[in-house]
Structure 1
Amino acid sequence: MNSSNKLSNQHNNSKFQTEISKFIASNQDEFAELVTFVDFAEKFTLGFIEINFSPDIDLLIAGLRQDSQCQGVQFVVLDFPDANLRFLRDELVQQLAKITQETNKKLVLLIRNLEKSIGVFGDYPPVLQDLNFVRDSYRQTIPHPLLFILPDYAISRLAKFAPDFWAWKSGLFRFKTTELTKNEAIAHTLNADTNIERIPTPEQQERIDLLHRLLMEYNPTGETPSRENLRNCCNILNELGKAYLSQRKSIKAREYLQKAAEIIQKFPDYSLQIEVFNQLGKSYQQQRQFDNAISYYQQALDIAEKQKNRHDIANSLFYLGNVSLDTRQLHQARNYYQQALKIEIEFGDRYECAGTYHQLGIVAQELREYDQARDYYQQALEIKIEFGDRYECAGTYAMLGLLAQAKENYAEARANLQTALEIYVEYQDEYMATVTREILESLPE
């Protein structure tokens, strides 16, 4: 190993040690209680550790392994990231058979990532049903201390849906999140450069998971958020709503958005209120409940006009245009879009213009004004390419494909639809990829 690598490793190790020290210092009493629990635990002893973020779990495990009172303990971390896991005990028995226990050391099992199978929604997750059902067999088959490391929401769901297993706990240790970890989570969610609707599905799911964990920081289960945390709570709930809307999970999205709408009444942030109302409108529009959608879009527009916020006025006009398009009120849709476009051009908001040009293209195509439609689509595509928004380009390529199909130019239709399909596959948007593939397959040779 060369000297520069050695220095880099030493620096990284020193930084990690500093982070461990800060984490333990922030949770001094809780850490001491956990160490005592580990010291006295014998055979099957059940404990739960509440930590909301993965980086802090790494710090805790490293801290335990380094602690002087734990030198007679062999900590083994067992990772269960499978969202479809059902029979945890069976998996634990298999993993135990592979562990070589160190001489004169007590084996303590640390369970990670079980929140993936516990989930956030729904009654009686299969893994918790089984956990409760086979509780008694744990004493015989897992004869070692067992510590589950879970975020707030997963512990709450385990206590609710596996109450018999939960009743056996001998310890519950709640650790506070470090400021560094919390700031990094905010940077990757609320302050992220890329809108959650425009990132590939796996990354999107990671961000959703981070948002749920961050929400627990500002609004722990069973507690009312403090006044200073209201804004952060509202922002997180709004982002979760947008995320679930992008996955076409309207009802789930609305649950978060309605909570955000309730909270926002408690502090004045009209721009955020307008955004929440517009997102609520989207949730109803996805379910084709157009009257409810229009009601929320109109409320958002009324607030924007009262505040004389031209940017928000343009957004609400755009959304009203979308509802009009969905309900086949094409001339009304065009009117809303043209009003929105005028404001976007006035403020030089070129990126927003792309979406409006795209929608105007759809209206023109529906009115069989094909040359006008093509012109709008090309303007939209030019801007999206300019801004490097590859995912949004897919929608416009798809519409250019459908436009060519309507004009019976099947070679051009196939080329544009194929480009759209490649982008959807790249971004792992299975729904749109399936729709595009079906259209391609229906084209005449």
Structure 2
Amino acid sequence: MTSQKFAVDQLVLESASVLTPAHFESFSRLCKKVVYGPDFQLLLVDCRDQLLQQQLQKLLSAVCQKAGFAENQLSLSADIPDVFELQQRLQQLAVSHQLIQLTQAAAWFNVVPDGKRWQEFNLLRENIAQSVNCKLVLWLDETAINQMINQAPDWWAWRSGVYTFSAEHEVGLSPPQPNFDHVSRLNLSKAKAAARIAELRSWLAQYENTEPEIAAPLALEMGCLYHQMGYLDDALSVYESQCLPLFTKLDDVHSIAVTYSCIADIKESRGDLNEALDIRLKLELPVHQKLGDKRGVAMTQLKIADAYIALGKIDTALDILSNDSIPGFQQFGDARDVALAYGRVADILHMQKNYEAELSIRIEKELPAFKELGDSREFVIVQSKVADILAARGELSEALHIYLDTCVPAFEKLGDSIYLALSKAKIAKLWMVRGKPEDRLNAKAYLQEALDVTTQANLSEAKFVKQLQDKYF
């Protein structure tokens, strides 16, 4: 790896002979992020000179080849009619390429008036991030970047860097501001996650004196992977011992707030609700407010509402959701987060046994949104909650029909063992309440399966399943 790094660095240095000092500085930083950064990145390039852009693209291709990356260029033109086709093209290329350069992007996005293509691109961000696991270099100009900020704010928040190549600007890279609010987008198997952690640990140990702008997002990725795999002590150590010092050195207050959010997530999972709430109120929310990051404010307020719900302060939570989170997400036209926030309101209504109002939200606000977004997992989770309402109202046959015919097959197809186990526990309970002797044996098997899964995953729901088992068997 050392010899390859030397060869890559040498090739980057050679580009200084054909670039101006300012352009070389930007190009050098871009190459370092491409070669040593995370597998998935969105890198934005502001280049307004067509000849310079072509030169930079060739130089970047050569660096990728030297680094052992398979690279390709996708020219955005009329034969790509919309962002859905763009996603399909990217998925096909990502199978065999680690980096894709998207050229002619500024003209393609702006050919549709009122920023609608940017807005559609924004709505598909999670689908693209989950299905296109490679580095994306988006060649734009200043006008297109400004439109992206306004029309695709979530993609903008996910950017790994902005690189400017023009006579007017001497600074190549703004401090990275990765957004890991949706950590599930990493979506790696345990084996792949473990392999990636080993790779990151080795790289960070070997190049501990590398530029913080490269090391910081890699450390954050490692912390998120530990977090995703359930290694909370390791994740917390990375967040506190590596991420915070690195982002502090960069004076990257946004990423500091993101890291504190991850720390608060761990505190919540361990039941340290007041400590987590304190972090959100004092170290996370004020930063987003100061930066004018309205979506970050709305997302943090959503998590604050979750903490208040867990603490039993549901009136406070309902007030935050209704007056802050939902209006904040609606301002960006973010259908998914609006639906999630409405879901929290519905959860509160369920706690209050206001089932009619809850059912109205589930059917009118959540299900249509997740269906349109193509989010099959959230869609079936909401269907499960509709079944919960029916069960609470004593409509056992209707509830069992949804659990058995919709939820169980869907969670099996998704490979979601946790929700599958919880669905089976609910089915077992309804079978026992219904009292048919022929259901008893299946109910016992379902409860044991649910207990094994929830206990192994160290979930609080294991207690609920054990109580059912003790009650009926």
When normalised by structure 2's length, the TM-score is 0.51
Report the alpha carbon displacement of residue 289 of structure 1 after superposing the two structures with TM.
0.7
Point out the more displaced range, 273-282 or 428-437: 428-437
2:351 pairs with 363, 366, 372, which one? 366
Matches for 1:368-383 after TM superposition, within 5 Å? 368-378=353-363, 379-383=365-369
Q: 8 Å contact 1:301–1:313 — kept in the other structure?
A: yes
Q: 1:220 to 1:240 in 2, by over 3 A?
A: closer
Q: CA RMSD in A?
A: 3.8
Structure 1 contact 264–273 (Cα < 8 Å) conserved = yes
Report if the CA contact (8 A) 2:197-2:225 is conserved. Answer: no
Q: Distance in 1 between matches of 2:369 and 2:258?
A: 24
Aligned counterpart, 1:204 = 189
Is 1:233 aligned with 2:202? no
Which structure has the bigger radius of gyration? Answer: 1
Matched, 1:390 2:376: yes
- 1:304-319 alignment to 2 at 5 Å? 304-319=288-303
Paired position in structure 1 for 2:429: 442
CA distance in 2, matches of 1:284, 1:189: 32
Runs ≥4 residues deviating over 6 A: 22-25, 189-194
Out of 378, 385, 392, the residue aligned to residue 406 of structure 1 is 392
Query: Is the contact made by 1:398 and 1:420 (CA closer than 8 Å) also made in structure 2?
Result: yes
| Cα distance change, pair 349–25 in 1 and its aligned pair in 2 (3 A) | closer
Structure 2 counterpart SS, 1:219: helix
Residue correspondence of structure 1 range 142-157 to structure 2 within 5 A: none
For residues 348-367 of structure 1, the aligned pairs below 5 Å read: 348-367=333-352
| Cα gap change, 1:213 to 1:406, in 2 (>3 Å) | same
Distance in 1 separating the partners of 2:229 and 2:274:
22
Contact 1:284/1:293 (8 A) holds in 2: yes
Q: Distance in 2 between matches of 1:351 and 1:180?
A: 34
Provide the C-alpha distance between the structure 2 equivalents of 1:316 and 1:234, rounded to a whole number of angstroms: 22
Structure 2 CA distance, aligned partners of 1:278 and 1:332? 20
Deviations 1:37-65 (A, max 9, x none): xxxxxxxxxxxxxxx9xxxxxxxxxxxxx
* Alignment equivalent of 1:328, drawn from 309, 312, 329: 312
Distance 1:219 1:405 in 2: 52
TM-score by length of 1: 0.54
Check if 1:188 corresponds to 2:170: no
Over the matched positions of the two proteins, sequence identity in percent amounts to 11
Aligned residues: 276
**Contact 1:374–1:400, Cα closer than 8 Å, also in 2:** yes
Report the Cα distance in structure 2 between the residues aligned to 1:280 and 1:232, rounded to whole angstroms: 21
Query: For structure 1, which segment, 343-352 or 268-277, has the greater mean C-alpha deviation from structure 2 after superposition?
Result: 268-277
CA distance in 2, matches of 1:274, 1:243: 18
Unaligned runs of 5+ in 2: 9-35, 37-65, 72-96, 101-131, 137-154, 159-179, 435-473
CA distance in 2, matches of 1:179, 1:368: 59
Aligned pairs for 1:20-419 within 5 A: 26=7, 178-180=67-69, 184=98, 188=133, 197=184, 203-205=188-190, 207-209=192-194, 211-216=196-201, 218-221=203-206, 223-227=207-211, 230-258=212-240, 259-298=242-281, 299-338=283-322, 339-378=324-363, 379-418=365-404, 419=406
Post-superposition CA distance 1:410-443 (Å, at most 9, x none): 2232233343333332232323322221111111
Q: Give yes or no for contact 1:421–1:437 (8 Å, CA) kept in 2.
A: yes
Q: Evaluate the alpha carbon distance shift between residue 333 and residue 188 of structure 1 in structure 2; reply closer, same or farther with a 3 A threshold.
A: same
Describe the SS at the equivalent of 1:238.
helix
**Cα distance, 1:188–1:233 mapped onto 2, change above 3 Å:** farther
CA distance in 1, matches of 2:265, 2:135: 20
Is this contact kept in 1: 2:408–2:420, CA < 8 A?
A: yes
Matched letter for residue 250 of structure 1: L
Cα pair distance change 1:386/1:301, threshold 3 Å:
same
Report the CA distance shift for 1:234/1:354 in structure 2 as closer, same or farther (over 3 A): farther
Q: Distance in 2 between matches of 1:332 and 1:303?
A: 22
Q: Cα distance, 1:281 vs. partner?
A: 0.9
SS of 2:292's partner is: coil
**Whole-angstrom distance in 2 between the partners of 1:380 and 1:224:** 46
Deviation (angstroms), 1:276? 1.7
Q: Is the 8 A contact 1:297 1:316 kept in 2?
A: yes
Contact 2:200 2:222 in 1 (8 A): no
Amino acid at match of 1:342: P
Change over 3 Å in CA distance of 1:224–1:244 after alignment to 2: closer
Residue 365 of structure 1 deviates from its aligned partner by 0.8
Structure-2 separation of matches of 1:282 and 1:356: 17
The Cα shift of 1:217 comes to 6.6
Kindly indicate whether the alpha-carbon contact (under 8 Å) linking 2:190 and 2:229 is maintained by their aligned counterparts in 1: no
The alpha-carbon deviation at position 357 of structure 1 amounts to 1.2
